């Protein structure tokens, strides 16, 4: 596929919305707020923001630059730059997106299912979570609907599918978040939740908290799996990719921050403002799918239905914007490298990923052997879905980010990288951001991402916690 025939984003804002949608996902809603709460409130937020802009932003620029320069998927991009021995990096990205989507669609199916249950006024679904996830027929259907919707968007191309969907989904998602924040702030004891969320407690900033803030920043921006290389290949050469990356980073962290402003008032309302009670509430799927429906019920049947339905629709939208980019990565590989037509490639990849995701769906409770799939020295016994997440999300992504930064600075060379990022900037002089990106991609990113990768591997696979000696 040549530059002349390759589909592109029609506008800069279309690209920014699509890339922001790729970054904004379930982790922004259910993980970030509670990492903040456990990590010292505003102290964690500041640490997270520091890493988002010092570490993640440069890697994002590098990925977009590689994609735009080559107009190809991650595998084709590396080959096109003349470094065939590094094509494993592209394959790592494609594999990461493939595996992550296989279990991400399962959780997205839960969100869609809960949207339906809230719409029907079934607040008791929180107490039925185990039975709900064990119902493999219902779970299979919801996941299939989600994957089908994702495939429909991707099959319609970049401008006619992904960009068009992003222009609808992202503004709608922001409106939902803001509306829920405004309502949450009216709840009794809401300010106690906000105080807990934002009051700095620097005594809680330990090496482990720094590691979590760094990881949350990196993972939340969908880096290291080739999604932004792929999206970058559809970007006009008139686009200032450094500024675009900055806007995408700000958008992602802003939505994550707003999610905290939405969630902690609900937590404080549930615990009647008790700081100890707020502290003891753990985040993640447990709170979202088990605890929240009961909170919505306490608001009154009609109001609870409205708020609950809106929340799980928001969660579904956040998941949908991410699944689109996850599916586009292997689809682009099929189109570029295997010369398969887009619609055929999309549905073939989507169907394959759906089938591969079935063990993850069954591992939550339906099949005992998959529920207790493996025991590792660090995390202990894990189900199949958590194990795939550990491999693809926790391990492959920081490794991919490390390799992308090394490849950009030392294989492709900084001179070529700098030349590419100046395209579209319309500046006679190199700006501050460009200078910083150049320094960061050469030194800061390889060192820090190397540390993240080592800590993750040693902690999870060998049960060795080396973080104390590193931070």
Q: Report pLDDT for 163.
A: 96
Task: Kindly report the backbone phi and psi dihedral angles of residue 383, in degrees, each rounded to the nearest multiple of 5, phi listed first.
Answer: -80, 170
Q: pLDDT of 9-38, one tens digit each?
A: 999 999 999 999 998 888 888 788 878 877
- State the Cα–Cα distance between residues 234 and 371, nearest whole angstrom: 40
Q: Report pLDDT for 429.
A: 58
Site of tokens 């951001």:
433
- State the Cα–Cα distance between residues 438 and 444, nearest whole angstrom: 10
pTM of structure: 0.93
Q: Report pLDDT for 427.
A: 63
Q: Report pLDDT for 2.
A: 40
What DSSP state is assigned to residue 376?
E
Q: Report pLDDT for 317.
A: 94
Closest residue by Cα to residue 391 from 96, 98, 97: 96
**Strand 374-376 vs strand 380-382: parallel, antiparallel, or unpaired?**
antiparallel
Q: Report pLDDT for 4.
A: 42
Q: Report pLDDT for 209.
A: 82
- Domain residue ranges of the chain, discontinuous segments joined by +: 12-470
- State the Cα–Cα distance between residues 434 and 57, nearest whole angstrom: 11
Task: List the structure tokens of 132.
Answer: 């709900």
Per-residue pLDDT of the chain (471 residues; tens, 9 = 90+): 344 468 899 999 999 999 999 988 888 887 888 788 777 778 888 888 888 888 899 999 999 999 999 999 999 999 999 898 999 999 999 999 999 999 999 999 999 999 999 999 999 999 999 999 999 999 999 999 999 999 999 999 999 999 999 999 999 999 999 999 999 999 999 999 998 888 887 887 888 888 888 888 877 787 888 899 999 999 998 899 999 999 999 999 899 899 989 999 999 999 998 888 887 776 667 889 999 999 999 999 999 999 999 999 999 999 999 999 999 999 999 999 999 999 999 999 999 999 999 999 999 988 999 999 999 998 999 999 999 999 998 899 999 999 999 999 999 999 999 999 888 776 655 677 888 998 999 999 999 999 889 999 999 999 988 876 544
Site of tokens 């900055």:
246
Closest residue by Cα to residue 354 from 158, 104, 23, 94: 104
Name the helix (H) or strand (E) containing 470.
helix 467-470
CATH number of 12-470: 1.10.4160
Q: Report pLDDT for 222.
A: 77
Cβ-defined contacts of 388-393 (< 8 Å, 24+):
388/99, 388/102, 388/103, 388/360, 389/100, 389/103, 390/460, 391/99, 392/95, 392/96, 392/99, 392/100, 393/96, 393/100, 393/219
Task: List the structure tokens of 263.
Answer: 């969630």
CB atoms within 10 A of CB 296: 24
Q: pLDDT of 209-222, one tens digit each?
A: 888 888 888 777 87
- State the Cα–Cα distance between residues 257 and 44, nearest whole angstrom: 11
- State the Cα–Cα distance between residues 448 and 219, nearest whole angstrom: 14
Listed in sequence order, the DSSP H helices in 238-291 are: 241-270, 275-280, 285
Per the prediction, the chain carries an average pLDDT of 90
Quick one: 62 exposed, middle or buried, by C-beta within 10 A (0-12, 13-18, 19+)? buried
Quick one: 438 exposed, middle or buried, by C-beta within 10 A (0-12, 13-18, 19+)? buried
**Angular region, 25: left φ>0, alpha ψ -120 to 50, beta rest:** beta
């Amino acid at each position: 596929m040549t530059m002349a025939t390759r589909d592109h984003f029609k506008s800069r804002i279309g690209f920014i919305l699509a890339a922001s949608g790729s970054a904004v996902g379930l982790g922004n809603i259910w993980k970030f707020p509670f990492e903040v709460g456990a990590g010292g409130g505003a102290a964690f937020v500041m640490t997270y923001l520091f890493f988002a802009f010092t570490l993640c932003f440069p890697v994002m620029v590098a990925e977009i630059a590689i994609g735009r320069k080559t107009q190809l998927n991650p595998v084709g991009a590396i080959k096109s730059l003349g470094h065939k021995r590094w094509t494993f990096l592209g394959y790592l990205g494609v594999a990461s997106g493939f595996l992550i989507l296989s279990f991400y669609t399962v959780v997205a199916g839960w969100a869609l299912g809960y949207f339906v249950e809230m719409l029907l006024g079934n607040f008791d679904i929180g107490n039925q979570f185990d039975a709900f996830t064990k119902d493999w027929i219902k779970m299979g259907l919801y996941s299939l609907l989600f994957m089908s919707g994702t495939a429909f968007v991707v099959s319609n191309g970049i401008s006619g599918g992904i960009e068009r969907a992003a222009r609808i989904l992202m503004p709608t998602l922001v409106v939902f978040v803001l509306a829920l924040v405004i309502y949450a702030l009216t709840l009794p004891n809401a300010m106690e939740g906000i105080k807990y969320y934002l009051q700095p407690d620097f005594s809680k900033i330990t090496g482990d908290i720094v590691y979590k803030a760094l990881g949350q920043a990196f993972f939340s921006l969908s880096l290291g799996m080739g999604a932004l290389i792929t999206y970058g290949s559809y970007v006009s050469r008139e686009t200032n990719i450094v500024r675009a990356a900055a806007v995408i980073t700000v958008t992602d962290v802003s939505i994550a921050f707003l999610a905290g402003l939405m969630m902690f008032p609900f937590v404080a309302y549930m615990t009647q403002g008790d700081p100890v009670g707020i502290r003891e509430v753990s985040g993640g799927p447990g709170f979202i799918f088990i605890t929240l429906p009961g909170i919505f019920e306490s608001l009154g049947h009609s109001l609870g239905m409205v708020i609950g339905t809106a929340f799980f629709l928001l969660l579904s939208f956040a998941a949908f914007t991410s699944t689109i980019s996850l599916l586009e990565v292997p689809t682009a590989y099929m189109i570029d490298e295997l010369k398969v037509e887009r619609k055929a490639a999309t549905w073939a990849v989507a169907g394959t990923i759906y089938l591969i995701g079935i063990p993850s769906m069954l591992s939550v409770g339906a099949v005992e052997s998959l529920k207790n799939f493996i025991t590792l020295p660090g995390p202990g016994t894990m189900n199949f879905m958590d194990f795939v997440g550990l491999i693809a999300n926790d391990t492959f992504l920081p490794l991919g980010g490390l390799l992308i930064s090394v490849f950009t600075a030392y294989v492709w060379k900084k001179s070529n990288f700098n030349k590419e990022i100046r395209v579209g900037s319309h500046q006679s002089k190199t700006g501050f951001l460009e200078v910083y990106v150049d320094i960061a991609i050469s030194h800061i990113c390889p060192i820090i991402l190397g540390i993240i990768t080592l800590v993750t591997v040693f902690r999870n696979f060998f049960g060795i916690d080396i973080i104390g000696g590193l931070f």
